[in-house]
Chain A
Amino acid sequence: MDLSLTPGQQMLRDAARDFLTREYPRKVIREIDETESGFSPELWRQMVDMGWVGMILPEEYGGMGSSFTDLGVLYEEMGAACLSSPHHSSVVLGGLTILEAGNDKQKKKILPSIASGQRILAFALTEPDYGWGPGSVKLAATRKNGHFVLNGTKLFVPDVQVADQILVVARTSSRGSPETGITLFLVDKGTAGLSSRILEGWTGDKLSEVIFNNVEVPASAVVGRVGGGWAPLERVLEKASIAMCAYSVGGMQRLLDISVEYSQNRIAFGVPIGTFQRVQDHVIEIVNDLEAARWTTYEALWKLDERQSDAPLAISMASVIASEGFPHSAEAAHRVHAGIGIDKEYGLYLYTKKARSLQHYLGDPVHHRKQVGRLLGM
């Protein structure tokens, strides 16, 4: 047993932490968040330069062939900074789906440009009948003269505003079980009949509504097998989920750090508020959420890297814990901070709204708890 990071992972963590602390303090994150696109081309370029964008993809496609634990280490630091970028949509969801399901031609053409950051993908699964299982996919793709025509609405899709292409999860058949009849399409954003708008509200990343109105795509846009999209997608969703768990771990760690600091510096009734046991309780709740999420997440990452058969169970369990723990920790941090917590300049709210968005992203705690039950054979 060795629960320490490898020297390489420690270097990755330290480099990411130094860079993000120096260049992307909460003030800068807030400025990016307040732009219309929520996207910083400068940050994206820096992420490419540091090798973060391609790292999880194989070397033959311009990546570094890093492990999922490596990815988790990076995501933890990105979460600590509350960073927003299309990394998760484009590389983890998009790139890994192409890698899992795509043919050789697609992999050779698409993956190197994802790894170099020149091509950005968005990933569209959820719809008005919200859910992350195959049963919730209704967007219809019908054959017409050797082409496919897509009709329907995708909802809550991140990063559409900066993407070149959208990886669309569509239904080509309604017969059989919900899994059968799912087909994946890679659709250019400029295709006729495709329109999108950013949804306003209190969301961690910019989320869009994407409407497909007789969007015609060639058969070459299909990624993988017609009707065989769900199985590879399920494997990618697992990896994408555990990456976001690591992001949440980083977020909780930062919430703990700023809450501890504030509890020692803020004076009330002539003493630091950390003197009050009611305040201490909130800090302890964050510690408990954090440590539970940290170790379930890293065990799941390890199981994934080791290709252990019970990795999906570990991932769903970590997802339950992280997606409940992050918003809960944010709430506890607000209790510690009181007034200053609602001051946008202080920036605690960045974590709070991110945590709330992430609670539902890739499946809420109820979804993952049901997965746990299913995988336990209940």
Chain B
Amino acid sequence: MRFENVYTPEQERAREALRKEVRELIKAKGKGVSGGPVDDRTISRDLLKRNKEFRIELGKKGWFMPTMPKKYGGAGLSPDMASVIYDELDVLNEWAADGFPGGVGPTSFVPNDHSTGMVGILNKIGTEEQKDRMLPPLVRGELVTWEVFTEPEAGSDLPSLQTTAVRDGDEYVINGHKMWIGGNNAPPDVLMTLAITDPNAPRHRNISVFLIPCNIPGVHIYPIDCLAPPYKNQIIFEDARFPASCAVGEGGDGWVAFNTRGGDGGREGERRRPIDELIDYSKETIRNGQRLSQDPEVQEIVTKAYVDNEIHRLLGLRNRWMAEQNRAGTAKKRTTYEGGQMTVYNKQLGPRNADALLKAWGPVALIANEPWGPMRGAAEMYHRHAIEQTHPGGTIEINKLRMFRSVIGPGTRIPAS
């Protein structure tokens, strides 16, 4: 076993060369493209524009989704080489570095679930023609995409969705109400939408996927006043017409695609920053004449949180390794519950970390203003963000159900109650 990567001198040279190249691009074109407020509702149009321009610069080099094949606009790099790029971009992903995976700020340059999920679906069910046509602008970061799945009456029970897309000649007409939609890189260009195309087909086989352009009549986007970024929206489709060429796959395969989409393992297996902040702040802060960390109760809270976060790191490392093995075709063990387990752990860890911050530090953990709010005020946002993150992609309970079904294996599946 080896829990870290070891590189040959040749690989080291390649990594160093790539690192240098990324740094040069950041130096040349990366000025003023990120930063700004973490609250993506107050970000200026100007910053968004500069941000998009830089994302396209990255895309030109294949570095927006570096693990994608070159023919689709990626750089064809291994996940490990891609991590060189992500590490360098952390300089710009100010808020990502504060422990919000994928970046909370609208100016994150690491592709988020919305982008990688869409690529995953296209890879899974897209025809060659669709992949050739649709993937490059997504992979090059030219188009901002949102996943448009959930509805007011179809959250955890997503297959109960009611939005319909009806074929009419060379077009589809879509009608429906989508809820809790949106990601970081607002505003979107394309909506990856699940809709019922065959109301008479059995459940799970009646849904198709579409990449719908936003700039067509009948698409209405309304922001929802949520607890924390990334802020969510409602979308109303009102007799919106789009070309039939926006359909992905053969039709009726939307549920399968949704259920099996996945990222590239990305940055899993790295430690979250709040735990380092928790340790450092506790060691550096003097209260009542002694370091906070000298208080036995604070010590216990911090060490428990440390252990908790180390488990998270190692489960992520395991998943990343399994993803690499699957990609290379060398996996000896079939991946089963690991993805669901990580999702559950992730969703439970956020609130536990927030709780640890509050218990160890007291009310300053709820304050945004400097100098009192630790982590430049991000500690307080962590509380809101952790709650908000427990729902996307299915609740903890839904993911536990998925996990159990994977534990017992597909061959021995027992009916759900």
Interface residues of A (CB under 8 A from B): 1-6, 69, 256, 260, 263-264, 271-272, 274-277, 280-281, 283-284, 287-288, 291-292, 295-296, 298-299, 301-303, 317, 320-321, 369-370, 372-373, 376-378
Q: Is the CB of A378 within 8 A of B404?
A: no
Contact indicator B1/A284 (Cβ below 8 Å): no
A277 CA to B325 CA, complexed, in Å: 32
Chain A contact residues: helix, strand, loop or mixed: helix
Name B303's contact: one of A256, A291, A369 (CB within 8 Å). A369
Q: Are B400 and A1 in contact (CB under 8 A)?
A: no
Q: Which of A283, A320, A377 contacts B404 (CB 8 A)?
A: A283
B65 within 8 A of A: no
Question: Is B4 in contact with chain A by the CB < 8 A criterion?
Answer: yes
- In contact, B404 and A296 (Cβ under 8 angstroms): no
Contact sample, A vs B, 19 pairs, CB 8 Å cutoff = A264-B414, A274-B404, A275-B417, A277-B397, A277-B400, A288-B345, A291-B315, A295-B318, A299-B314, A369-B300, A369-B304, A369-B307, A372-B303, A372-B307, A373-B300, A376-B303, A376-B306, A378-B302, A378-B303
Q: Are A4 and B311 in touch, CB under 8 angstroms?
A: no
Cβ contacts under 8 Å, B416 to chain A:
275
Per-position binary interface string of chain B over residues 282-303, scored 1 when its CB falls under 8 Å from any chain A CB and 0 otherwise: 1100000000011000011011
List A contacts of B311 (CB < 8 A). Answer: 292, 295-296, 321
A378 touches B408 (CB 8 A): no
Q: Does B227 contact A (CB under 8 A)?
A: no
Beta-carbon contact of B414 and A5 below 8 Å: no
Please report the C-alpha to C-alpha distance between residue A274 and residue B338 in the assembled complex, in whole angstroms: 19
The reply on B43 being an interface residue by CB < 8 A is no
Across-interface contacts of A317 in B (CB, < 8 A): 306-307, 310
Contacts of B341 in A (CB 8 A): 287-288, 291
When C-beta atoms are compared, the residue in chain B nearest to A6 turns out to be B1
Most buried by A among B5, B283, B401, B417: B417
The answer to the question of B279 belonging to the interface, with a C-beta cut-off of 8 Å to chain A, is yes
Cβ–Cβ contact A280 & B404, under 8 A = yes
Q: Is residue B200 within 8 Å, beta carbon to beta carbon, of the partner chain?
A: no
Q: Is A284's CB under 8 angstroms from B2's CB?
A: no
What are the nearest 9 A-B pairs in CB distance? A295-B314, A378-B293, A280-B404, A292-B311, A373-B303, A373-B299, A372-B303, A3-B321, A2-B2
Note all chain A residues with C-beta closer than 8 A to B320.
Answer: 1
Interface residues of B in 249-302 (CB under 8 A from A): 279, 282-283, 293-294, 299-300, 302
Name the residue of chain A whose CB is nearest to the CB of B1. A302
- What CA separation (Å) do A369 and B417 show in the bound complex? 40
Check if B362 is an interface residue, CB within 8 A of chain A.
Answer: no
Cα–Cα distance between A317 and B317 once the two chains are bound (Å) = 17
**Residue among B318, B325, B400 with most chain A CB within 10 A:** B400
State whether A1 and B3 are in contact (beta carbons under 8 Å apart), knowing that A260-B407, A378-B282 are contacts in the complex: yes
Q: Which residues of B contact A271 (CB under 8 A)?
A: 414-415, 417
B213-251: contact bitstring with A at CB < 8 Å (1 yes, 0 no)?
000000000000000000000000000000000000000
> Which of B1, B4, B5, B293 interacts with A4 by CB under 8 Å?
B1
Residues of B close to A283: CB separation below 8 A: 404, 407
Please name all residues of chain A whose beta carbon is closer than 8 Å to the beta carbon of B404 when the two chains form the complex: 274, 280, 283-284
Q: Flag if A376 contacts B417 (CB, 8 Å).
A: no
Task: Give the most central of B317, B404, B416: most A CB within 10 Å.
Answer: B404
A299 to B299, CA, bound (A): 24
B412 within 8 A of A: yes
B303: chain A residues within 8 A (beta carbon): 369-370, 372-373, 376, 378
Least CB separation from B321: chain A residue: A3
Q: What would 11 more interface pairs be, CB under 8 Å, given A284-B403, A292-B311, A369-B300?
A: A1-B4, A1-B80, A2-B321, A256-B407, A275-B416, A277-B397, A277-B400, A284-B400, A369-B303, A370-B303, A372-B307
Shortest CB–CB separation between residue B4 and chain A, in angstroms?
Answer: 6
> What separation, in Å, do the CA atoms of A377 and B294 have in the docked complex?
10
- Assess the B318–A280 pair: CB atoms within 8 A: no
- The smallest beta-carbon distance between B295 and chain A, in angstroms, is 10
Residues of A near B3 (CB, < 8 A) are 1, 3, 298-299, 302-303
B337 an interface residue at 8 Å Cβ cutoff? yes
User: In the complex, which residues of chain A have a beta carbon less than 8 angstroms from the beta carbon of B324?
Assistant: 1
When C-beta atoms are compared, the residue in chain A nearest to B324 turns out to be: A1
